Structure 1
Amino acid sequence: MGFFNQKSEEMIMLQTKIQSLLGIIVGLETTYNTVKKTGILMRAVEDLQTKALIASQALEAKAKSQLIALTWSEVVAQKALNAVAKVNPYILLGTAILTLVGGMAFAYQS
């Protein structure tokens, strides 16, 4: 009986070691899966950031092109307003007087 009893104790110790190793393996697999999921999540976040950056740059380029178009249309509108205003005789007279005064001031300083 002593032989079987000793073998039985060795088997119990071996099973305990195996169960400990299995617990460690399960812990490592859980950690690996967590890291893998985190990596996938981080890649998804990076993809979203890249898409947001591209969309932002596209909107910025569109806004700049529209701003340039608006600037040119504003210049044209201002020139048209100036031309119409100069047709008014009072504005025309005021422009002439200011031009003369400015010319005289420039000539006096020179």
Structure 2
Amino acid sequence: MPKSTVIQKAVNTECGRCLWPSQTSKNDQKYNFRADKGSDLPGGKVELIIQANKNAENKGVRENVQQDSHRIVAKVVVDPTNDPSGSSVEDDALNSFEKKN
């Protein structure tokens, strides 16, 4: 995921909209997961929501999402102003994933 692009896109995107990859059935299959815009938070921070795609190429991902298509795999908070490159996104996403699974 191109973190800095996704973070900057999140600033002007409605809550619940897909940030990455662009929403097509081909991308849903290829990337297995997507990043959606979560809530706008105080101080200009934004939530990024990671969810599995129901058309995922990976069988395990696809089977899991069929049980709950709205399940949040990971959730991270980003600060587009003070950390536009998203230096902590990967670690935060992994920590969130481990807590949720």
Select the structure that is richer in strand. Answer: 2
If asked which structure has higher relative contact order (CA below 8 Å, sep 6+), I would say 2
Using the size of structure 1 for normalisation, the TM-score is 0.20
* TM-score (normalised: structure 2): 0.22
Bigger share in helix: 1
